[in-house]
Amino acid sequence: MTLSFSSALKRLALRRILAAFVLGGFSVCAIAQTHVDDAWVRTTVPGQPSSGAFMRITADVDSKLLNVASPVAKDAQIHEMSMTNDVMRMGPVDAVPLPAGKAVSLDPDGYHVMLMGLSGQIKEGDQVPLTLTIENAQGVRETVQVQAQARPMMDMDMSHDHGSSH
Ligand SMILES: [Cu+2]
């Protein structure tokens, strides 16, 4: 009788601890509304003026990516790659829609970030700081700091010259 009473107490205590963990987790999520995964920047050769940054962004609520900035680049632009009459085009966009809960990829075939006016060569393994400005549907802005890993691009599609294509 005494034994089962104490084990019931223990179970209750354990349940309280678990509840505290769950509540704590929720409050953390409420602050960090946007998650950025697998951020990387393409390595460059010496003297190369620009590069591309890529990542996967998941917003908890409907949002949009408005701006990207980096201390290694004079200018960072959000570009979109698209096919028009079988011609691959690419140009700046005002924002990237981030629907609630959906992972949006910035990759070499779609949206990507162009880092222009690089201050130096980006070498494999470098950590490139990026600051993302994200606005939710209520107009509330948040900035997200990301450390993007520099790695070489295997796909040759991005080897075209951004400077003269647009
Ligand atoms: Cu581009």
The string of pLDDT tens digits covering residues 113-129 is 999 999 999 999 999 99
User: What pLDDT sits at residue 17?
Assistant: 58
Q: Which two tokens stand for residue 26?
A: 């929720």
How far does the centroid of ligand 1 lie from the alpha carbon of residue 124, in Å?
20
Q: Which two tokens stand for residue 110?
A: 């779609």
Please say whether the beta carbons of 54 and 153 come within 8 A.
Answer: no
Euclidean distance between CA atoms 92 and 79, whole angstroms: 4
User: What pLDDT sits at residue 4?
Assistant: 60
Please say whether the beta carbons of 98 and 142 come within 8 A.
Answer: no
Euclidean distance between CA atoms 43 and 158, whole angstroms: 12
How far does the centroid of ligand 1 lie from the alpha carbon of residue 100, in Å?
26
For 153, which DSSP code? -
Per-residue model confidence as pLDDT tens digits over 22-61 = 554 444 444 557 999 999 999 999 999 999 999 999 999 9
How far does the centroid of ligand 1 lie from the alpha carbon of residue 104, in Å?
17
Domain boundary assignment for the chain: 35-154
User: What pLDDT sits at residue 164?
Assistant: 40
User: What pLDDT sits at residue 132?
Assistant: 97
How far does the centroid of ligand 1 lie from the alpha carbon of residue 90, in Å?
6
Euclidean distance between CA atoms 121 and 51, whole angstroms: 10
Per-residue model confidence as pLDDT tens digits over 67-115 = 999 999 999 999 998 888 888 888 999 999 999 999 999 998 899 999 9
For 37, which DSSP code? E
Euclidean distance between CA atoms 56 and 146, whole angstroms: 11
User: What pLDDT sits at residue 113?
Assistant: 96
Cut 0.85: pTM above it: no
Nearest Cα neighbor of 159 from 108, 124, 107 is 108
Per-residue model confidence as pLDDT tens digits over 144-161 = 999 999 999 775 444 444
User: What pLDDT sits at residue 15?
Assistant: 67
Q: Which CATH number fits domain 35-154: 2.60.40.1890, 3.30.1360.30, 1.25.40.80, 1.10.10.10?
A: 2.60.40.1890
Euclidean distance between CA atoms 32 and 120, whole angstroms: 32
pLDDT > 70? residue 3: no
> How do 73-84 and 87-92 pair as beta strands?
antiparallel
State the pLDDT confidence band at 14, using cuts at 50, 70 and 90. Answer: low
How far does the centroid of ligand 1 lie from the alpha carbon of residue 142, in Å?
24
